[in-house]
């Protein structure tokens, strides 16, 4: 019982770091275009995450059942805990440096690294189909769709006064930011719920992978609390260091990212990265101005963080397994 409580506590710690690490995903563009104040944007993101968590059961199922195969044992509980340690540590490292890396892929990487180090089976078909392929496709989709949506907006409002269009899209960003926050809840709260249910199963406390009501409520509340703490470092990278956004561009990026998240969550049950999706959408939208308008040096640093997240979290989790094995 103590091991289960410790794993659940680690899962909630990961959720909290996820909240302040990824809160920028939903609100950076709205704050940078001054569509919302920071306080209002944080509140909206927290509420959106809370509500969206109840619609992420497909993603939770993928994380709980489709990544690694564990037996019912104390050793399996140890591996789940070490997977969370790997994800939390990498979240803190990238948060410290202000890099918008993927909490999702940190968690999956931690799970794979812990399983390999602990001699448990990795379901590679699930990792490839539900994680790696969507990891590549989702940012490409975000970039291309962001570019096309912005082109459509520019054509539809080509005769509108810039000041009038700016005011209208600033108001519209309230809706697009809420949609982005909802999508973030569908993805990121669901991943934690999936790993909590996995812990319940391997501890023998539960026979199936259904999500208890307390797990919904606790995960969503902790994610909302983490979101409310901010994430200013990463927000600056997304909101201003990639490109200076105006309200129409901010709306296009958020609407695009939210659409990709909905398809991935409710259509495919794929745990994609909200960070990858919104960042690539911002780049696609910014490219309509001119390709040189995007600060590709900053974008390159982000890509490095994306590529290293999975193996880095896996390595940290594997080291955690090795260290824990010495004391158990």
Are 279 and 135 spatial neighbours (Cβ–Cβ below 8 Å)? no
What is the rounded average pLDDT of the residues 237-248? 62
- The pTM score is 0.83
Rounded Cα distance between 182 and 140, Å, is 21
Section 92-114 average pLDDT: 82
What is the SS3 assignment for 69? strand
Residue 317 — pLDDT band, cuts 50, 70, 90? very high
* Residue 79 contacts residue 120 (beta carbons within 8 Å): yes
Q: How confident is the model at residue 291 (pLDDT cuts 50, 70, 90)?
A: low
Mean predicted confidence (pLDDT) in 297-302: 64
pLDDT of residue 230: 58
- Is 60 exceeded by the pLDDT of residue 232? no
pLDDT at 192: 86
Q: What share of the chain is helix, strand, coil (3-state, %, to 5)?
A: 80, 0, 15
Task: Put residue 243 in one of left, alpha, beta given phi > 0 → left and psi -120 to 50 → alpha.
Answer: beta
Predicted confidence at residue 112, as pLDDT, reads: 93
For 327, the token pair is: 């004391």
Q: Which residue in 308, 264, 286, 123 sits closest to 198, CA to CA?
A: 123
Give the pLDDT of residue 326.
Answer: 79
DSSP 128-189: IIIIIHHHHHHHHHHHHHHHHHHHHHHHHTTTS-HHHHHHHHHHHHHHHHHHHHHHHIIIII
Confidence of residue 9 (pLDDT cuts 50, 70, 90): very high
Answer whether residue 241 shows pLDDT above 60: no
Within 10 angstroms of residue 154's Cβ, the number of other Cβ atoms is 15
Map residue 76 onto helix, strand or coil.
Answer: helix
First to last CA, the chain: 16
What is the pLDDT, as a whole number, of residue 113? 93
Tens of pLDDT along 147-180?
999 999 999 988 888 888 888 888 888 888 889 8
For the residues 274-279, what does the mean pLDDT come to? Answer: 81
Mean pLDDT confidence for 121-146: 87
What is the DSSP-derived secondary structure letter of residue 66?
S
Mean pLDDT (the chain) is 82
Residue 203 pLDDT > 70: yes
Beta-carbon neighbour count of residue 158 at 10 Å?
Answer: 8
Question: In this model, does residue 138 exceed pLDDT 80?
Answer: yes
How do residues 260-270 score in pLDDT, each as one tens digit?
Answer: 999 988 878 88
The DSSP 8-state label assigned to residue 73 in this structure reads S
């Amino acid at each position: 019982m103590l091991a289960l409580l410790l794993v659940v506590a680690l899962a909630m710690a990961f959720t909290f770091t996820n909240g302040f690490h990824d809160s920028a995903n939903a609100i950076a563009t709205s704050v940078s275009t001054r569509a919302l104040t920071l306080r209002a944007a944080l509140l909206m993101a927290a509420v959106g995450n809370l509500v969206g968590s109840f619609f992420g059961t497909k993603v939770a199922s993928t994380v709980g059942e489709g990544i690694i195969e564990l037996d019912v044992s104390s050793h399996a509980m140890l591996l789940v805990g070490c997977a969370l340690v790997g994800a939390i540590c990498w979240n803190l490292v990238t948060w410290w440096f202000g890099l918008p890396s993927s909490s999702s892929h940190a968690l999956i990487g931690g799970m794979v690294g812990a399983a390999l180090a602990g001699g448990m089976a990795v379901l590679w078909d699930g990792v490839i189909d539900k994680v790696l392929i969507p990891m590549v496709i989702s940012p490409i989709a975000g970039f291309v769709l962001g570019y096309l949506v912005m082109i459509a907006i520019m054509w539809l409002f080509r005769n509108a006064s810039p000041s009038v269009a700016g005011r209208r899209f600033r108001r519209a960003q309230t809706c697009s930011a809420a949609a982005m926050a909802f999508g973030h809840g569908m993805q990121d709260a669901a991943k934690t719920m999936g790993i909590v249910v996995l812990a319940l199963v391997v501890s023998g406390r539960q026979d199936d992978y259904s999500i208890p009501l307390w797990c919904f409520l606790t995960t969503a509340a902790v994610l909302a609390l983490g979101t409310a703490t901010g994430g200013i470092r990463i927000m600056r990278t997304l909101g201003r260091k990639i490109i200076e956004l105006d309200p129409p561009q901010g709306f296009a990026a958020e609407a695009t990212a939210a659409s990709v998240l909905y398809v991935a969550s409710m259509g495919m049950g794929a745990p994609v990265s909200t960070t990858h999706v919104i960042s690539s959408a911002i780049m696609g939208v910014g490219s309509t101005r001119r390709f040189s308008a995007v600060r590709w040096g900053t974008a390159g640093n982000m890509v490095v963080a994306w590529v290293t997240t999975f193996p880095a979290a896996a390595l940290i989790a594997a080291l955690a397994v090795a260290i824990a094995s010495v004391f158990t």
